[in-house]
Amino acid sequence: MTDILMPRLSDTMEEGVISSWQKQPGDEIAVGDILVDIETDKAVMEYEAYEDGVLDKILVAEGETAAIGTPIAVITPAGGEPPAAKPEPATKPEPAAAPEPAPAPEPAAEAPATPALAAEGSAGTSRPPSSPLARRLARDHGIELTALKGSGPGGRIVRADIEAAIRTTAPAPASAPAAPAPEPAAAPAKAQAAEDPDVEAVPLNRFRKVAAKRLTQSKREAPHFYLNREVDAEPLLAFRATLNEALVPSKVSVNDLIVKAAATALREHPAVNVSYTEENLLFHKRVNVGIAVAVEDGLLVPVIKDTDRKSVSQIGQETRELAGKARDGKLSLQEMSGGTFSVSNLGMFGVDSFSAVINPPEAAILAVGAVRDEPVVRDGQVVPGKRMAVTLSVDHRATDGATAAKFLDRLATLLENPLLIVA
């Protein structure tokens, strides 16, 4: 027999949640088969089998958490005795398995095993598409996904659908006597939510926990300074329109051009494409630009490797693919690692300008605002124009103001003369 251990799927991962088992006890396993989907602090990732055999036991059920290195399943050699685990776990637990449930110290906070699995769908039931957050909320509140109609793309069940189902289910008043419990200080937010019908306490998901930890660390440890620049966006928009006429049916966005321009400027100003450590200043030989993508569970930053060497159309295609994976929770660790600079664009939400927090260990991040219609002066005449604000956040430990200003000046030149981007 071989124990399958909870793997380390990211550099910041300490534990993982079993999102869904793709194999069941008794199923034959081949090398490369997807055994289980595991939710980490960054995404939901597929875990592949590394040897042939038969899935004997599942030790950690869907929705449960296990620390790195903890056994989550057992595989027996192919052709060996048929697994006895399939019929037995539901009727009588084996004595040897008694220590296994020990890592779950919070059974009272979760629904019993059977309702939790029912929320995910049984082996004979087709589970509707749903986001990881929606599945977690469904488990926590005993909501059956098969009874819901999703409002997301393709009928996907999202958080709003689960919250609507929760609201239609009257909360049991039995929890009211628990309010006078002698430990209100231990969980003030939960106590407030229990006492105030207008407040709902939603547990932080892993994405937000990790983001909160890393960004707090970034603001606390990295002395930020900010450089602002107004850019004439009219040439950029005209160039994009010309490109899209030539690239039909492929399209590029304004953000694709900004990412390409940033990568080009980084190649010309390597002192910004760096990372700070206590012993060294690391100059990165590759330009890998991360693109902030808003997802239902928070914010992810997939990375386009060697951005400076790729065409605008390649950047656009790769951005769309990575953004789709981010929203589906299918980004791999490799697709989120290795960034040397980031771009965060909130222009599509009507935000004129903002200052972004640096994504460590990078030394800078570019915040992009919306393209605005404004009067501008050309040749002594006031005429209609289009302006766009960009803000560069910089780690002062890694670079200085003059160096960052030269980079931003070159970036503005590229954006206002976009033919230079593809030259």
**What is the torsion angle, in degrees rounded to the nearest 10, for the CA atoms of residue 13, residue 16, residue 20 and residue 26?**
110
Q: What is the reported pLDDT for 14?
A: 78
Q: Which CATH number fits domain 2-171: 1.20.1250.20, 3.30.530.20, 2.40.50.100, 3.40.50.10860?
A: 2.40.50.100
* Domain spanning 215-420, CATH class: alpha beta
Q: Domain spans of the chain?
A: 2-171, 215-420
Q: Provide the whole-model pTM.
A: 0.62
Give the per-residue pLDDT at 228.
Answer: 97
> What does the pLDDT read at residue 150?
81
Q: What is the pLDDT along the chain (423 residues), one digit of tens a residue?
A: 888 888 877 666 778 888 889 999 999 988 888 889 888 766 677 788 888 899 999 999 988 888 888 899 999 987 655 444 444 444 444 444 444 444 444 433 333 333 332 343 333 345 677 776 677 677 767 788 888 888 776 677 877 788 778 777 644 444 444 444 444 444 455 545 556 788 888 877 666 777 777 778 888 888 999 999 999 999 999 999 999 988 877 789 999 999 999 999 999 999 999 999 889 999 999 999 999 998 876 788 999 999 999 999 999 999 999 999 888 878 887 888 899 999 999 999 999 999 999 998 899 999 999 999 999 988 899 999 999 999 999 999 999 999 999 999 999 999 999 999 987
Q: Which residues are catalytic?
A: 396
